[in-house]
Amino acid sequence: MKFAIQSRRDVQSNELMELAKTYLQDFGLEIDEEEPEIVLSIGGDGTLLHAFHRYSHRLDKVAFVGIHTGHLGFYADWKPSELEKLVLSIAKKEFNSVEYPLLEVQVHRNNSDSSTYLALNEATIKSPDVTLVMDIELNGKHFERFRGDGLCVSTPSGSTAYNKALGGAIIHPTLHAFQLTEMASINNRVFRTVGSSLVLPAHHNCVLKPVNDQKFNMTIDHIQIIQTDVKSITFNVANERVRFARFRPFPFWERVHDSFVSNE
């Protein structure tokens, strides 16, 4: 089996990376940074986002697993002290693969150019200078005109990240859906929005159309992009899936409780 490792690049993560390389190679696994079959992310959930985008071109051939060297995460769920146990399980191929849905983002420009992105957590749109004004269409029909700081479109697995901070719902990561959440919308007697997050199933789509010819900032997970001359932005549940190597049960709602409720 071929493997690669993505490190957060702090001292502890780098030391763990070198140790993991030694252990895995001792068991006969081959390091391959170009075409790995399994990718170890050592750091936090942000490190795994970097690993995902590094190998997003071969999602059907690679599985991810995370070791956290900081706070317990939703993607990085192995402890450094469990490295030997993890390596042994990888070497014996004692794992299953679970697939989570991704978000596809298509940016269409007035000059007919277009760009397509995949997001593991979310995509956001904000105006750097003025209020963001966007017409929102759901399945080809006008739904509302949004005015406010911005919009966040998240995957189910990303619903516990920025989406939750904005007041969005937490969605189980196996559900094939995506979520649209507002950032500080303007609501008064003149301007109205629904004000709640919208959870859309996989067979639906959402299109944002800029009302003004304005520049705005877009993020695709940790990647920041300045967008100009945009005609529309389409969001769908992507055909691609991300695969995670599961070596033991992953009680999602227990992880939610431990992350946001428990004081221990």
Beta bridge partners of 150: 126, 183
Question: In a 10 Å sphere around its CB, with 0-12 CB exposed, 13-18 middle and 19+ buried, how is residue 83 labelled?
Answer: middle
Which of 10, 26, 45, 221 does the annotation list as catalytic? 45
Beta strand 76-78 with 63-68 is parallel
Structural contact between residues 158 and 120, judged by C-beta atoms closer than 8 angstroms: yes
What residue type is 183 in one-letter code?
M
Active site residue 45: yes
The answer to whether 169 touches 245, Cβ cutoff 8 Å, is: no
AA letter at 205? N
Which of the residues are catalytic? 45
